[in-house]
Structure 1
Amino acid sequence: MTTKQAIEKQSLEYYLNLKYPISIIPEEEGGFTALISDLPGCITQGDTMEEVVTNIEEARQLWIETVYLSGKKEIPLPFSS
C-alpha cells in the first residue's frame, strides 16, 4: 500500500468490517463490561455474556458510524491488524 492509499479515507463499509479486539470483564456485582480499547470510549455493559457481546457489537457500529459521518477524526485501525 502506498502512502497516498494509506491516507485516503476508506468507505464506511470497510471500517464496519474491521475486526477489533474486545475485552470482556466480569463485574463483582454481576454482569459484564466490554470495551474496545482501539476505539476510545467504546464501552458497554450487559447482564449476560450474550447480552454484552450484542451490546459491544452495536456500540462498535455506532462508534464507527458516528466518527465516520462527523469527519472530525480518523477511525483507528485495529491494533492487532
Structure 2
Amino acid sequence: MELTIIIQHGEDGWITGQLEQIPAVITQGRTMEELKFMLLDALALYLEVQQEQTAKTYQGQDFSRETFGQLNAA
C-alpha cells in the first residue's frame, strides 16, 4: 500500500505533512526528509494508540489475535 502525503510549505520555513489515508497523522519538519521521518514516527504512535484502545474494547472477552503482515517503510 502506498501512502500519500498532503504537503503545505509554511512561511516560517516549516513543512507540514498529513497522511491522506489517515488524516489524524499530521506533523511537520524543516526538510522533506525530516517530514517523512516524523510522519512515520507519528503513524507508529497513532497505530500504537489504536491498538491500546482496541485492546480495551475486547478486555474480558474471549478472542484471539493473529499477525497477518507488516507495513514496510521505503
Q: TM-score, normalised by structure 2?
A: 0.61
Structure 1 unpaired stretches of 5+: 1-17, 73-81
Using CA pairs below 8 Å that are at least 6 residues apart, which structure has the higher relative contact order? 1
Structure 2 unpaired stretches of 5+: 58-74
Deviations 1:8-36 (A, max 9, x none): xxxxxxxxxx5432212111221200111
Backbone CA RMSD of aligned residues: 1.7
Tell me, in whole angstroms, the C-alpha distance in 2 between the residues paired with 1:19 and 1:58. Answer: 16
Larger radius of gyration: 2
Tell me, in whole angstroms, the C-alpha distance in 2 between the residues paired with 1:41 and 1:19. Answer: 17
Q: TM-score, normalised by structure 1?
A: 0.56
Give every structure 1 segment of 4 or more consecutive aligned residues whose post-TM-superposition deviation is greater than 3 Å. Answer: none
- Aligned length, in residue pairs: 55
Alpha-carbon distance change, 61 to 39 in structure 1, aligned in 2, over 3 angstroms: same
Tell me, in whole angstroms, the C-alpha distance in 2 between the residues paired with 1:39 and 1:25. Answer: 16
Tell me, in whole angstroms, the C-alpha distance in 2 between the residues paired with 1:34 and 1:40. Answer: 10
